């Protein structure tokens, strides 16, 4: 059994200068890996049992820029490679080894994206991404990912029907993985489709989507993997509202003097 995850947190700062925007981000990676092996040979408490646990973390850095035009926008970004450092420990049925230093190398990534506005309320996006695995892993090979996407984003205020206010998005991608299987490259093909359901406030919406991935080929790699993922997201949902302004000038009643008769 194997359990592995890698999380990344980003702290982003950007500035807009005319038609250009520039941004920097501090990235922090946090991950864990656990591998367990168990073999039941009918020996009771003496069955083979081993466990390998690893934890790793470290920061990185990303820069990017966007140029905006009335009919298109062009964006580039670069993420530095990182060496995640941590500890590794092996356990067996009767032995627990001392913790050892462990490193996991992540490659640098460079991306280029172009968005076109061929029609009103329609967007067409082309993206390319390069991952430098050959510098991060002696046995790795550089990987590339190409994507083509389309989005329909209607102006909600011009639609009289709720269903006509919905946004739609779709895309297809092709990617090479940074390793070979059976002496051949492993390719990945992805398809995605999503929509946004507008809620009460202008910026609030519910995002739903589906992603299908196909990796490998039985003919070339002797293996094939198909996966389907559901995506659910929320945008908005303001929980802090502005209090009513009760400090506006108003007439203050004058105290009435009572006179005895």
Domain boundaries, the chain: 1-66+80-106, 108-237
For residues 162-167, give the mean pLDDT.
84
Tokens of residue 255, six digits: 């105290």
Tokens of residue 97, six digits: 């080894």
- For 81-108, how does the pLDDT look when each residue is reduced to its tens digit (9 = 90+)? 999 999 999 988 778 889 999 999 999 9
pLDDT for the residue numbered 88: 94
Rounded to 5 degrees, what angle do the CA atoms 28, 30, 33 make? 155
pLDDT for the residue numbered 149: 97
Predicted confidence band at 188 (pLDDT cuts at 50, 70, 90)? very high
Assess contact for 185 and 216: CB atoms under 8 A. no
Tokens of residue 256, six digits: 């009435």
CA separation for the pair 235, 206 (Å, rounded) = 7
Instruction: With CA atoms as reference, report the closest residue to 107 among 91, 74, 129, 87.
Output: 129
Burial (0-12, 13-18, 19+ Cβ within 10 Å), 181? middle
| Least confidently predicted of 194-198, 208-212, 230-234, 252-256 | 252-256
Q: Is 0.85 topped by the overall pTM?
A: no
- Residue burial 99-119, b: 16+ Cβ < 10 Å; e: rest: eeebebebbbbebebebeeee
Assess contact for 191 and 209: CB atoms under 8 A. no
CA separation for the pair 46, 50 (Å, rounded) = 12
Rounded to the nearest 5 percent, the helix, strand and coil shares of the chain are 5, 65, 30
Instruction: With CA atoms as reference, report the closest residue to 14 among 66, 74, 49.
Output: 66
For residues 1-21, give the mean pLDDT.
92
């Amino acid at each position: 059994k194997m359990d592995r995850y890698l999380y990344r947190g980003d702290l982003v700062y950007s500035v807009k200068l005319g038609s250009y925007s520039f941004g920097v981000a501090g990235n922090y990676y946090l991950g864990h890996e656990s591998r367990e092996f168990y073999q039941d040979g009918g020996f009771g408490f003496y069955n083979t049992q081993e466990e390998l646990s690893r934890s790793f973390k470290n920061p990185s850095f990303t820069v990017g820029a966007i140029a905006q035009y009335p009919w298109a926008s062009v964006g580039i970004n670069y993420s530095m490679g990182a060496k995640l450092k941590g500890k590794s420990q092996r356990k067996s049925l009767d032995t627990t080894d001392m913790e050892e230093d462990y490193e996991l190398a992540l490659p640098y990534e460079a991306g280029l994206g172009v968005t076109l506005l061929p029609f009103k309320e329609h967007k067409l996006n082309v993206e390319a991404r390069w991952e430098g695995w050959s510098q991060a892993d002696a046995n790795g090979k550089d990987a590339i990912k190409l994507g083509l996407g389309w989005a329909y984003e209607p102006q909600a205020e011009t639609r009289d029907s709720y269903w006509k206010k919905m946004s739609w998005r779709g895309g297809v991608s092709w990617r090479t993985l940074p390793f070979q299987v059976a002496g051949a490259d492993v390719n990945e093909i992805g398809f995605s489709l999503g929509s946004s359901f507008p809620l009460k406030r202008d910026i609030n919406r519910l995002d739903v989507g589906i992603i299908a991935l196909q990796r490998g080929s039985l003919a070339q790699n002797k293996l094939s993997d198909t996966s389907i993922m559901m995506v659910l997201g929320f945008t908005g949902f303001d929980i802090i509202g502005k209090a009513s302004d009760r400090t506006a000038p108003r007439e203050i009643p004058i105290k009435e003097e009572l006179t005895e008769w």
